[in-house]
Amino acid sequence: MNNQKNKEPNILVINTGSTSTKIAGYAGSKMFFDEKISHTTVELKKLTNFEAQVNYRLNLIKSLIEKNNFSISRFDLIMARGGLIKPVKSGVYKVNNQMLRDLQYAGKQHASNLAAIIGYHLAKAEIPVYIADPVVVDEMQDIARYSGHKLFERKSIFHALNHKAVGRKFAADNKQKYENLNLIIAHLGGGISIGAHRKGQVIDVNQALDGEGPFSPERSGTLPAGDLVKMAFSGQYSMEEMLKMITGNGGLVSYLKTNNLKAVEKTADKDSLVILKALAYQVAKSIGEMATVLKGEVDAVILTGGIAYSTFITDFITKYVQFIAPVYIYAGEDEMQALAQNGLLLYKNEIIAQNYK
């Protein structure tokens, strides 16, 4: 990128989630404004198609920028959350027409698909727009792709942005290079993804979006396949209801009618706490699985994401997996900071933007 020597770039970060829209401004690595809008189910139901979602959130973001007395021309680049595009290697990608088409007509629609399109409309070709480490980062080794039936292939869809950011942060904290380490990183949030990071590449990971791995606050994770098929053909549920059962109404929502893990933990109810233990137990089992992928050569196990703030959960997991490698807690997920950091490295020419095809 063209830049002025020693100039700290102004970076606008856009992150669209299923129930929120977040924007932030950074001068280099320092945030100078931060705004979040929460969306109710009632509001979102009025938006009947993808274009309506884009326009609704685009206008909200424009209002927030005006409220802070900024103009787009103030920013040197925009970093947007990446969505469900084609599988890509880890890195930063410039938003182009092919990406815009793939986001709009993706086989599965998700709120993350909106951010790059909104950024593109905001920029109006005046400044560049990029994404970094979208959820479809795919570095899986070939042997990991086999499911057990030729009609089904395991896919890499996970919390790549946070996985990569935490892996690099852990390496920096320990004065090492991420590319020299073997790590097992468990992102514990609304969805749960557990990846085997071998020398800078995630060679195996559960498909966290809709049906693999541990259950989470609102996802069912891996279910008994035979029982699932029988239920699907029972006539009691539509395809939409079945999909919602897996993502949205699964996990804690199914067992306890809430996705609020903190609230469940506070009740200290015996029957509820055993569900939390089961969640942690499944996470620990998956960490063990990834240890075999790395042939036991593991430098660290890292627990991250919002659930990692719960010592009840992290202590339970640690007791099961600490024999594998030292366990480290990097609670939370600062996607905004991770996107801004990628933008800063790009601006300083420390990384190079890749071309999306």
pLDDT in tens, 31-57: 999 998 888 767 877 888 889 999 999
Q: Which pLDDT belongs to residue 133? A: 96
State the average pLDDT over residues 50-73: 90
CB-based contact 127:78 (threshold 8 Å): yes
231-278, pLDDT tens digit by residue?
A: 999 999 999 999 999 998 999 999 999 999 999 999 888 999 999 999
Residue 82 reports pLDDT greater than 60:
yes
Residue 2 reports pLDDT greater than 70:
no
Residue 148 reports pLDDT greater than 90:
yes
Residue 146 reports pLDDT greater than 90:
yes
Percent of the chain with pLDDT over 90: 83
Strand (E) positions, 225-331? Answer: 300-305, 327-331
Q: Which helix (H) or strand (E) covers residue 20, if one does?
A: strand 20-27
Strand order in the sheet with 300-305: 201-205, 192-198, 182-188, 300-305, 327-331
Q: Mean pLDDT in the chain?
A: 93
Say if strands 92-94 and 182-188 run parallel, antiparallel, or are unpaired.
Answer: unpaired
Strand (E) positions, 177-279? Answer: 182-188, 192-198, 201-205
User: Selecting from 3.40.50.2300, 3.40.50.300, 3.30.420.40, 3.50.50.60, what CATH number does the domain 160-332 have?
Assistant: 3.30.420.40
Say if strands 327-331 and 201-205 run parallel, antiparallel, or are unpaired.
Answer: unpaired
Confidence of residue 6 (pLDDT cuts 50, 70, 90): low
- Written out in words, the top-level CATH class of the domain with range 10-137+336-347 is alpha beta
Q: Which pLDDT belongs to residue 9? A: 96
Q: What are the start and end residues of each CATH 3.30.420.40 domain in the chain?
A: 10-137+336-347, 160-332
- CA-CA distance, 222 to 119, in Å (whole number)? 35
- Report pTM: 0.91
Q: Which pLDDT belongs to residue 110? A: 82
Percent of the chain with pLDDT over 70: 98
- CA-CA distance, 223 to 209, in Å (whole number)? 14
